[in-house]
Amino acid sequence: MNVYALRAIYRFEMDRMRRTLLQSLVTPVITTSLYFVVFGSAIGGRMAEIDGVPYAAYIVPGLVMLSLLTESIFNASFGIYMPKFTGTVYEILSAPISPFEIILGYVGAAATKSLILGLVILATARLFVPFEILHPLAMIGFLVLTAVAFCLLGFAIGVWADGFEKMQIIPMMIVMPLTFLGGSFYSIKMLPAFWQQVSLFNPVVYLVNGFRWSFYGQADVGIGASLGMIAAFIAICIAIIWWMFRTGYKLKN
Amino acid sequence: MLAPPQPAPILSIRGLTKTYASGFQALKGVDLDIRKGEIFALLGPNGAGKTTLISAVCGIVTATSGTVTVAGYDNVADYRRTRAMIGLVPQELSTNAFEPVISTIRFSRGLFGKPPNPAHVEKVLRTLSLWDKRNSRIMELSGGMKRRVLIAKALSHEPDILFLDEPTAGVDVELRRDMWEMVRALRETGVTIILTTHYIEEAEEMADRIGVIDKGELILVEEKKTLMAKLGRKQLVLHLREPLAAVPDALAGQPLELAQDGHDLIYTFDAQAEETGIPALLKRLADLGIDFKDLQTRQSSLEDIFVSLVRPRS
Ligand SMILES: Nc1ncnc2c1ncn2[C@@H]1O[C@H](COP(=O)(O)OP(=O)(O)OP(=O)(O)O)[C@@H](O)[C@H]1O
Ligand SMILES: [Mg+2]
């Protein structure tokens, strides 16, 4: 294990994030606040409770997830895309480090940032709605696993992308719809039977519900299924990235 | 005389080929041994495969076939060991614009698995006259300074082998001299240096050995001295008083030609030979009444050699 290299990459990435900390925290905080104003206060007042949870509180876990997914993909993909774009990736590729250490450094740093962001959003939400967290440890656990899973996805996108449009396309075309249809703002039990079935194929449903369970102790899907889904997601991402490094895909042409 | 035993090469390349994803074959089976402590210059026209060769050794591109060993270790199986020994200064000025100079150097050192060593980092920055700029962000530096930052990065982890891919491209004359000095000083400390260049005078000035690569093939590897002597032809140029229309019949068969509308008579000879034939020629000219006002001799440079090697192939 090349610990010095791991530390160097992690530090480099954290420094890069520190330089842009303000804008990367301010944007999601403002967005989340707006969601609360619109959904929590304006619409939420007219909504009944869901599963005995007031609507404004019900959407908190989903909103945190929403930002977590987008920011994780964004941060992790940029972390590896930028060195490719500027050419500095030559140094990473010629260094005595394994793919595992590279991934650990980049994804670890991106996930750290996502985690901080998730907690900041949670704190912001607390200003708008009083809510309690039933299983705080499980909540942190879900936060970490989700951050890691989507940072891995982001990393793979960053390796794959050879232009800025490609960096946007997966988050815009796939992740956004899945997130909005992922039960962040509603219980999938409120959907017609057919769409309930369809929703069960959406991984985001499992993430949001697992997370929500850690807050309120109830969810549309089983907690085991939720954990299994995250584990599968992480495994698939790791396999893809592993394959990319093995074949030198888009890195070593 | 018996040749002294050759020590094992520090870098050994065997049958190296590289076909890019586009299907283009940039290396067509390169064999090359680099000796410990030498300065090796790799010459070749644009697109010859110099950068590809370096990239394959350093692990930036995956070779299609062939092997590379560094100090006896395979660069794929033992990549941690081999890469830690190599420092690379790339051709492109790829830098992190927003990073301060000193942190980018520390980063490189860590990346190559070395514990922090502020004294070494300072030494490297001072040698490259970057110490005063250590807290500047890289985007605030000039091109020549950026080039030196890249060199500092490569030296930060105390490599045994240093690759310099066109280190003096776009660098002014004074800085180029400084860089040559630095390379020589490095060699004094035992570092093996492999550089690519388009400036023949650079190879002529610096290198112990020279390799010429063209279209993915290494067409020549030779001691610089041998190369210059072997291929180095000398010429005697006589500036005539009266121009000649043609080389006189009496001198036919001699390696003579006319230039400058018959004002110059050029005699080509082998500088290594016992007999240059010059005294005899001068005597013949005097006999024929061909008078000259001045004369000069010149030796063909590496440039001439290089051109004569590569041109017939294109
Ligand atoms: N990523 C790539 N994909 C396809 N072809 C490539 C790639 N990189 C280089 N080549 C081709 O391989 C050949 C050798 O390129 P290389 O960069 O090794 O040349 P070079 O000798 O370093 O040239 P120069 O003196 O211009 O730097 C060129 O014809 C180039 O077009
Ligand atoms: Mg090149």
B27/B53 Cα distance (integer angstroms): 7
Query: Which one of A2, A94, A100, A244 makes the best mutation probe of the B interface by having the most chain B beta carbons within 10 Å?
Result: A94
Domain ranges for chain B: 11-229, 233-313
Strand partners, B67: B14
> CB–CB of B186/B193 below 8 Å?
yes
- Indicate whether A252 belongs to any domain: no
> CB–CB of B66/B59 below 8 Å?
no
Residues sharing a CB contact under 8 Å with residue B60, sequence separation 6 or more, in sequence order:
A90, A93, A94, A252, B88
Model pLDDT, residue B16: 97
Report the candidate in A57, A8, A98 with the shortest Cα–Cα distance to residue A185: A57
Model pLDDT, residue B124: 94
Structure token digits, residue B288: 């024929």
pTM of the predicted model, to two decimals? 0.84
Split at pLDDT 50, 70, 90, the class of B177 is: confident
Model pLDDT, residue B2: 58
Model pLDDT, residue B312: 67
Any A CB within 8 A of B95 CB: yes
The string of pLDDT tens digits covering residues B66-104 is 999 999 999 999 999 999 999 999 999 999 888 999 999
Higher local confidence (pLDDT), B230 or B14: B14
Model pLDDT, residue B70: 97
Q: Which chain A residues have any C-beta within 8 angstroms of a chain B C-beta?
A: 2, 4-5, 7-9, 11-12, 15-16, 19, 86-88, 90-98, 248, 252-253
The string of pLDDT tens digits covering residues A128-158 is 888 889 999 999 999 999 999 999 999 999 9
B61 CA: nearest ligand 1 atom: 1
Structure token digits, residue B169: 């491209």
Q: Which residues of A touch B82 (CB under 8 A)?
A: 96
Best CATH choice for the domain B11-229 from the list 3.40.50.1950, 3.90.1150.10, 1.20.1250.20, 3.40.50.300: 3.40.50.300
Any A CB within 8 A of B110 CB: yes
Q: Choose the most confident range, by mean pLDDT, from A242-251, B70-79, B276-285.
A: B70-79
- Indicate whether A154 belongs to any domain: yes
Higher local confidence (pLDDT), A24 or B22: B22
Task: Please state which of the ranges A216-230, B92-106, B294-308 shows the lowest mean pLDDT.
Answer: B294-308
Any A CB within 8 A of B306 CB: no
B311/B300 Cα distance (integer angstroms): 16
Task: Give me the mean pLDDT over the B185-211 stretch.
Answer: 90
Closest partner CB to A96 (pick from B79, B98, B106) = B79
> CB–CB of B55/B89 below 8 Å?
no
From ligand 2's centre to the CA of B163, what distance in Å?
12
Average pLDDT over all residues of chain B: 89
Residue bearing tokens 């776009």 = B170
- Indicate whether A253 belongs to any domain: no
- A94 to B153: CB separation less than 8 angstroms, yes or no: no
A96/A5 Cα distance (integer angstroms): 8
> CB–CB of A17/A117 below 8 Å?
no
- Indicate whether A104 belongs to any domain: yes
Judge whether residue B305 has pLDDT over 80.
no
The string of pLDDT tens digits covering residues A166-189 is 888 888 888 888 888 888 888 888
Judge whether residue A44 has pLDDT over 70.
no
- Indicate whether A50 belongs to any domain: yes
Model pLDDT, residue A117: 92
Model pLDDT, residue B301: 65
B55 CA: nearest ligand 1 atom: 18
What residue numbers bound the domain in which A121 lies? 3-247
Judge whether residue B1 has pLDDT over 60.
no
Task: Give me the mean pLDDT over the B3-29 stretch.
Answer: 89
Domain B233-313 bears CATH identifier 1.10.1740: no
B42, B199, B311 from B45: Cα distances, Å: 10, 11, 10
Model pLDDT, residue B314: 59
B255/A177 Cα distance (integer angstroms): 82
Strand partners, B65: B17
Min Cα separation A119/chain B (Å): 28
Split at pLDDT 50, 70, 90, the class of B302 is: low
ipTM confidence = 0.87
Judge whether residue A233 has pLDDT over 80.
yes
Number of domains composing chain A: 1
Q: Which residues of A touch B20 (CB under 8 A)?
A: 253
